[in-house]
Amino acid sequence: MGWRVDESCGNALGAAMGLHPSIAPVLAGDGGRVFGPGPAELLERTRGTGSLHAAASEMGMAYSKAIRIIRTAEAALGYRLLERRIGGAAGGGSALTFGAELLAARYHAWRMACEASAADLFARHFSRIGCVVMASGDAVRFGSNKLLAPFAGSTVLEHTLAVLSDELLDVRVVTRSRETAAVAEGCGVAAVLHGGSFQSDTIRAGLAALPDAPACMFVPGDQPLLSAASVRALVLAQARQAESIIRLSFGGSPGSPIVFPRSCFPALAALEGDAGGSELLRTRPDLAARVMLIEAARACELTDIDTPAELEQLEQFA
């Protein structure tokens, strides 16, 4: 499946910053709502005051409405929630039946569980996804640190980082080079230094630095013409298909970046040697079947740099 990159994808995450989930679970029957936060509070206040009338008054509710709520719930549940107490020193009132006490306790426990699950799901779906910038290569063919090579007025790495929005992505530059780390931090991006020799080591170090990420985008540091529109499209695709593996492509040919859901992290962390995400997909047909392609606007977005000649050629498209 391929999508054409659309500049109008935008950043919808910013509107959610500072928000939190708020849910009010209800029990419903064929006739509609039976029990929820309002009736639960009414029972709780009745227990505390010993009076349905007093409970309704505390809630700013008409007594007639309180009676209607209780009777509706009783009709649906098939048992009484309140029993009347007549006379006595307190002048009578209402008490919760055993069934009401059990209902209230079960509802409270269920509501707390729903709120905890909602918080977890909110974090999964509204948090920034992780982003590991792969910046640990030896650059043998280039002859020097290609990420620090001049490119269109800055460096290769700075061009790559410029399109990785920190509103959408929690970015880590994973590298063995202190100079590369310094450039990343100068751009306001956290760097992770490690001593591993292989691509799999870079992946493990990146995932370890993003333990709570709901998904992770892996971006080659030497892909300076990657566009912000493509990054947004990848993020949007991940939000729509959270368990898919999202890859940037051109002309139907897959490339990088690749976005893996959290469920793939153990398989990624288990890679060995100079193997990365592409190798994982080659050896795992079950994961390859989950790949969704996002079509880039230009082929050069997917081009990485291996030699000075390739750098010079690619700069013509900057």
**154, 231: one domain:** yes
d(CA 76, CA 29): 7
**Residues 56 and 156 occupy one common structural domain:** no
Q: Is 115 inside a domain boundary?
A: yes
CA–centroid distance for 90 within its chain:
55
Residues 153 and 295 both lie in one domain:
yes
pTM to 2 decimals? 0.79
Alpha-carbon separation of residue 17 from 123, 126, 238 (angstroms): 11, 8, 18
What are the mean pLDDT values of the chain's consecutive 10-residue runs (318 residues total)?
Answer: 40 58 92 93 96 96 96 95 72 87 97 94 88 87 90 95 93 96 96 94 97 96 96 96 97 96 97 94 96 96 92 89
Alpha-carbon span 54 to 41, nearest angstrom: 12
The pLDDT of residue 61: 96
Whether 152 and 101 share a structural domain = no
User: Do 156 and 279 reside in the same domain of the chain?
Assistant: yes
Is residue 66 domain-shared with residue 147, that is, in the same domain?
A: no
Rounded to whole angstroms, the Cα distance separating 93 from 176 reads 75
* Residue 247 confidence (pLDDT): 98
pLDDT at 111: 96
Largest CA distance in the chain: 98
Which among 92, 120, 148 is the end of a domain?
Answer: 120
CATH code of the domain covering residue 305: 3.90.550.10
Q: Assign 3-class secondary structure to the chain.
A: CEEECCHHHCCCCHHHCCCCCCCCCCEEECCEEEECHHHHHHHHHHHHHCCHHHHHHHCCCCHHHHHHHHHHHHHHHCCCCEEEECCCCCCCEEEECHHHHHHHHHHHHHHHHHHHHHHHHHHHHHCCEEEEEEECCCCCCCCCCHHHCEECCEEHHHHHHHCCCCCCEEEEEEECCHHHHHHHHHCCCEEEECCCCCHHHHHHHHHHCCCCCCEEEEEECCCCCCCHHHHHHHHHHHHHCCCCEEEEEECCEEEEEEEEEHHHHHHHHCCCCCCCHHHHHHHCHHHHCCEEEEECCCHHHHCCCCCHHHHHHHHCCC
Q: Please say which residue of 90, 120, 150 terminates a domain.
A: 120
Question: Last residue of a domain, which of 120, 145, 177?
Answer: 120
Total residues belonging to the chain: 318
156 φ, ψ to 5°?
-55, -50
Q: Give domain status of residue 276, yes or no.
A: yes
The total number of structural domains that make up the chain: 2
Among candidate residues 254, 218, 255, 216, the one with its CA nearest the CA of residue 238: 216
> What's the pLDDT at 17?
60
- CATH code of the domain in which 50 resides: 1.10.10.10
237 within domain boundaries: yes
What are phi and psi for residue 89, nearest 5 degrees? -65, -35
Whether residue 194 sits in one domain with residue 106 = no
Q: 113 in a domain, yes or no?
A: yes
Domain that holds residue 59: 27-120
**Is residue 51 located within the same domain as residue 131?**
no
Query: Within this chain, do residues 241 and 185 fall inside the same structural domain, yes or no?
Result: yes
Cα 254 to Cα 77: distance, rounded to the nearest angstrom: 57
In whole angstroms, give the CA distance from residue 111 to residue 304.
Answer: 51
235 and 296, same domain (yes or no): yes
Task: Give yes or no: residues 109 and 219 share one domain.
Answer: no
Q: Is the same domain home to 58 and 175?
A: no
